[in-house]
Structure formats: C-alpha cells, structure tokens
Amino acid sequence: MSDQPIPPVPGANGGAAPATGPVVLNLQFTKDLSFEVPGAPEIYLTLREAPRIDIALDVQARRLQEGQETYEISLNIRADAKTNDNATAFIAELVYCGIFTLNGVPEQMLEPVLLVECPRLLFPFARNILADITRDGGFPPVLLAPIDFVQLWQSRRGQPSAAPIANA
C-alpha cells in the first residue's frame, strides 16, 4: 500500500458539491411500488405461457418551491398482465422520481427539458426496478422497450386536457 493520502471526495464531510451543467440530477428514488398477484397461487399453476402485458406510462413535473428551479419529475408506470382467458396474472405499479435543478434553462425550453430530458435520465433505473419486481414475483421479467419521450411529450401537448407543470 502507498503512503499517499487519499484525495477528498467533493461534497464529503457535509460540504455541498457545486452544481454544474444546465440539468443536475440531485436525487432519485422510488416513491411508490406495488406488485400484486390477485389469483395466486392458482395463477402459477394454470399459466402455460407468458401473459399479455399492457403498459401505461406517464410523466409528471412539479416545481418544489416557488422561485426555485428545482423540480420533482415522476415516471408513473403501470403493467397489467393478463392470461389468454383474460384473467389478471399480475399488476405492477411504479412511481419513480428524480429531483432536478435546472441552471439557466431558457423559459421556452423548460417544458421539453422537464418532460423529455429528465425522464430519459430516470428511465433506465425505473425499467430495471420493473424487471426485477416482476421476475421476483415469479413471472418473466417485464423488459420495457426504450421510450420515445419526445413523441410522448408531443402527443401530450396535442391533448386539450394536458396539465401544465404543477407548482408546489
């Protein structure tokens, strides 16, 4: 071993690491996770092939404090699995969130950054959690295909009921 001192880690000892870049992911976490198998244990005995899975995905953005450029971004994912005879195999629901700080993002770019770029950063982690929970629940893992968040955002903008970014 060397007698060289270990350099300090930025942000260690309670010091805050300086935020850099226009989008800073401060924290990510599972806000809500639910997995249920209403027909257990019989469903495991009668299921002959992988169930049909319907996925619903939504993105929500919420400013955490007025006057601050800190937002909570939520990826809401629901997977409903049905057997060939339309019985529910399982229901998985996940709300995966990130706390983001935006630095110098122009007002006209705020919505696409919050509803496209931020979810792109969160998606791989949410995808992994959903795959793990379904596998651990005794089913083949649900592996979500990549999501086109630009198309999701554009289709949402075309809906008259699309909600604006909420304030705390």
CATH of the domain at 57: 3.10.420.10
Structurally, how many domains does the chain consist of? Answer: 1
Dump pLDDT digits (tens) for 76-105. 999 999 998 889 999 999 999 999 999 888
User: Closest by alpha carbon to 168, among 67, 39, 76, 26?
Assistant: 67
Has residue 14 been placed in a domain?
A: no
Please list the pLDDT of the chain residue by residue as tens digits (168 residues): 445 554 444 444 444 555 567 899 999 999 999 999 999 999 998 888 889 999 999 999 999 988 789 999 999 999 999 998 889 999 999 999 999 999 888 888 899 999 999 999 999 999 999 999 999 999 999 999 999 999 988 888 776 544 456 655
Residue 114 covered by a domain: yes
Evaluate whether residue 45 is within a structural domain. Answer: yes
120 inside domain: yes
- pTM, whole model, 2 decimals? 0.80
Phi-psi category of 59—alpha, beta or left, where left has phi over 0 and alpha has psi -120 to 50? Answer: beta
Q: Is residue 5 part of a domain?
A: no
Nearest to 122 by CA among 99, 156, 154, 91: 99
Flag whether 18 is in a domain: no
- Domain limits at 162? 23-167
